[in-house]
Every structure is written in C-alpha cells, then in structure tokens.
Homo-oligomer: A and B are copies of this chain.
Amino acid sequence: MRVFTLVFSLLITVATSQTHDDGAETINNSPGHSSSFGYTGLEGPLNWYGLDRKHNGLCAKGRYQSPININSEIHSGRGGISIQIPSASADFENLGTTVEVALSNGLLFTPTGRYNLAQFHFHTPSEHRIHEEEYPLEVHFVFKNPAGRVAVVGFVFEITENRRGNALFENIFSQVHKIASPGTSVRLNRLMFGDLAAHLESNPVYQYSGSLTTPPCTEGVSWFVSSKPLALSTKMFNAIKHVLKFNARYTQNALGEKNLLEVAASELDLASPELHEPVKHELR
C-alpha cells in the first residue's frame, strides 16, 4: 500500500461516527492529529515511532502490542461474545493503508459490555499468526463503546480449493478492483452478516488485550480472534491482494515482554565498533 495521509480517513470517520463518543477518552486518532504511515522503508512499521514521536510512542515501546503469534498461552473459549450486524448497504473505501467498509450500524456483546461497530477493514497477509502459521488475509471489525474503549473482532482467511468462498466477503471483494486507487470508494449493497455471526459463535475465540496494529498503536484494545478461518476463493484473494499489496505489521513480542524495537535498540547500544566491517556492495 502506498503511504496516504490519515486526514482523508479521519474526515470519513468524523462524518460517519455520529453514534460515537469522541471525548477525551477516545482511543482513536483525533482529527487534530494528522500523520501518515505506510508499510515500506522509513514509512513502515519499524519507523512508525520516528514518523511521529509525539503520538506513536507505544509503537516502539509498548509491551502489549498487536499483532501477536497466538499460542497456547492465549485464552480461547467458545461463546461469551456475539455480533449483531443488520444487513445493509455501505461504502467500500480505499484509504491508502487499507480498504475499509464504513458501516456503523452493528453491535458487539461481550461479558463486560456492549460496543458499537465503527468499520471493518483488511490486511494481507494476516497480521495474527495462529500457532506460528500465517494466513493470506485477515479482516478486523472495529467496535467502540461510548467511553471510547475499542474492541476488535478478527477473522483470518484460508484459500479454498473448491473456489467457493464466504459469500459476504466474496460479494465485497468482487468490487475491490473498482477502488484500486487511494481515495476512491464504491457502494456495496446487500451485505449480510448472519453467517459470520454464526461462525463466531460456533467456534472457539482467542481473547487477549493488545493494541491497534497501526499508529498510534494504542493499547487497551480487547481482541477477539476466531480460531476458524473463513473460506476465500483464489480469484478473490488475488483481486484484493492486488489492491492491498502488503499491509501487515510484523509479529510483536509476547504480551508483557519488552517491545522488540526496545530489544533491538539495547543490543545496538552494546555493540562493539569493530563489528562494523566494510563490505563490498557492487553487483558482480
């Protein structure tokens, strides 16, 4: 994905988030905070802190960062959470760093409270890994409660040999070629979430407290990742990958452990100068 200023997506968020409390406690970017980020070189995840030292400190120093490798230490359980999203039409937008469906009519129920849907968006390859394994695509349904707390429900996708993917997402991805450029959008009709809600309720869900996977990498995000992949056709995988290109943050350290960038920095401090040997770089 190309770098794209967040101003555009923030305008959209503001325009569509009448149901949200955007007070001081809100976990998202505020409209006054405009920064750009990407997934390549100095705009990429290793330098998100460098792009905005004032706001992105947790990207380099947070110890409860997402995405993680989901291993046996992560709690999983069946039931306890559910989503209710009425069938709807919605805008499908290319934000430069992801493609997003702006749909605020939906609810997440958890043991500790109710959240309102803000949007859902995609990452390729998957951001979470499950027992070390990565998946070709992941969707994040982002919810907020009136106090501004964020909960995200994630599903990974697995490419199916029989060509028949999950109907909801095949419907969505069939339109993705129309929003190949950042800033473009298309209207999606007849989005139906019943099967997805059933999928979430009928399979174990991994639960942990992590962070946003994009700047400012805010922590305190309640993550719910379904253990069972959704089916994705080869055709639609290629279509969405061609637009997303690559937009996954690297796997973070285990929850509670030192941020991997802090680890790297402390190593470099201790390095002896004689390790910097000159090396020839010409292509022979």
Contacts and interface: CB of A to CB of B under 8 A. Distances in A.
Identical copies in the complex: 2
Contacts of A219: 279-281
Contacts of A42: 253, 257, 260, 263
A242 interface: yes
Interface string A202-223: 0000011100000000011010
Interface string A16-58: 0000000000000000000000011110111101100100011
A264 B263 contact: no
A134 B75 CA distance: 31
A124 B132 CA distance: 12
B46 A234 contact: no
A174 interface: no
A57 B271 contact: yes
A246 B281 contact: no
Q: Which of A45, A50, A131, A255 has the most CB of B within 10 A?
A: A50
A264 B47 contact: yes
Interface in A233-281: 234-235, 237-238, 241-242, 245-246, 250-251, 253-257, 260-265, 267-271, 275-277, 279-281
A209 B220 CA distance: 43
Contact of A41 (B125, B257, B281): B257
A185 to B, nearest CB: 21
Interface residues of A, number: 79
Contact of A261 (B46, B64, B110, B136): B46
Given A53-B271, A275-B57, A284-B209, A125 B134 contact: yes
25 contacts: A40-B132, A41-B69, A41-B251, A44-B260, A45-B250, A47-B260, A58-B279, A60-B268, A61-B276, A112-B284, A129-B246, A132-B245, A133-B246, A158-B238, A159-B238, A160-B234, A208-B283, A219-B279, A220-B279, A222-B284, A234-B234, A250-B250, A261-B265, A261-B268, A264-B264
Shortest beta-carbon contacts, A-B, top 10? A57-B275, A265-B265, A209-B283, A134-B246, A133-B245, A46-B260, A265-B268, A132-B245, A50-B267, A219-B279
Interface of A: 1-2, 39-42, 44-47, 49-50, 53, 57-58, 60-62, 64, 69, 75, 110, 112-113, 124-125, 129, 131-134, 136, 149, 158-161, 163, 207-209, 219-220, 222, 234-235, 237-238, 241-242, 245-246, 250-251, 253-257, 260-265, 267-271, 275-277, 279-284
Given A47-B263, A61-B271, 7 more contacts: A41-B257, A60-B264, A62-B279, A133-B245, A134-B245, A209-B283, A222-B283
